[in-house]
Amino acid sequence: MTANPNKAIYSDWYVPSQLEFAPKTPYDARVLKSRMDLLREHCAGKDVLDLCCGSGTFLAQLMDGVKSIAGLDFSRSLLQAAAARAKDNPHVIGFAEGDAKSLPFKTESFDTVFSIASLYYVPDVQKAISETARVLRPGGVAILDLGNSRSLARLTGAASHYFYGWAKLFAIPYGDILNAIAKAGLTIEQHRASQILPLNGPRLVQLLLPFSTSLFKYPMGLMIGGRLLDDRISGAPGLRRLAFRHLFVLRKPDHG
């Protein structure tokens, strides 16, 4: 099993405010809205797990519309921030400090499990996908944001980790993502690819790797036929294997 240096990085170097999803460009705002719309659709009235919940950015926006919601993360400080913003909400059943690859929940505990912008920082993510399937009830839905190692973001991620101590990427090849989903017994209902260009990085990384500059967010954030230009380009059949982010809506078969 691969050790995860990110637990120390998130616990010792990051503060909750750094991990808020605060839109700085129209691209960011549109991506955040699309994620929230998708989560609200599949979490409303359900028993939900926010996997790698961080400081609770998404959980806090969903908690009034669910039947129940729990959060899990490996960072105690982030969990404390999430618990503070969810204080006294009757739908929040608790927060667990734990590993995405070995979930401390009973089999078939949740109707919906989601993880946004997190699982590509988890080594051996195939185990996290398998664990997600285990805790889902039959007919349940997983919304997982996974990272492709055969992308430009692997370069910018490695440079950001080396120069600035940012979290280390543990993305896997696109084909391995599909294999892990199939092995876990989940079926793909929706798939959205994005970030054929990394679109972010610290200043030095942007200077060394100009394709990572956030300036590309402006053209890639244009809406074309109701979809981001980034999504259209990144999701093209010949290019999706080079895109970094792959957002899946997965269904656990209902054998009943």
| Contact by Cβ (8 Å): 128, 109 | no
Mean pLDDT of 49-53: 97
Nearest to 114, CA basis, from 179, 41, 176, 19: 41
Confidence of residue 24 (pLDDT cuts 50, 70, 90): confident
Domain ranges of the chain: 6-251
Chain segment 165-185, per-residue pLDDT in tens: 899 999 999 999 999 999 999
**Plot region of 169 (φ>0 → left; ψ -120 to 50 → alpha; else → beta):** beta
pLDDT (0 to 100) of residue 256? 58
Share above pLDDT 70 across residues of the chain, in percent, rounded to a whole number: 96
Q: pLDDT (tens digit, 9 = 90+) per residue, 197-229?
A: 999 888 888 888 999 999 999 999 999 999 999
pLDDT score of 10 more than 90: no
pLDDT of 1: 59
Say yes or no to pLDDT of 14 above 80: no
Q: Please state, in angstroms and as integers, the Cα–Cα distance from residue 90 to each residue in 22, 64, 86, 229, following that order.
A: 26, 9, 9, 40
SS3 content of the chain, % helix, strand, coil (to 5): 40, 25, 35
| Residue 133 pLDDT exceeds 80 | yes
Stretch 22-47: mean pLDDT? 94
Query: Which CATH architecture fits 6-251?
Result: 3-Layer(aba) Sandwich (3.40)
pLDDT at 13: 76
Q: What is the mean pLDDT of the chain?
A: 93
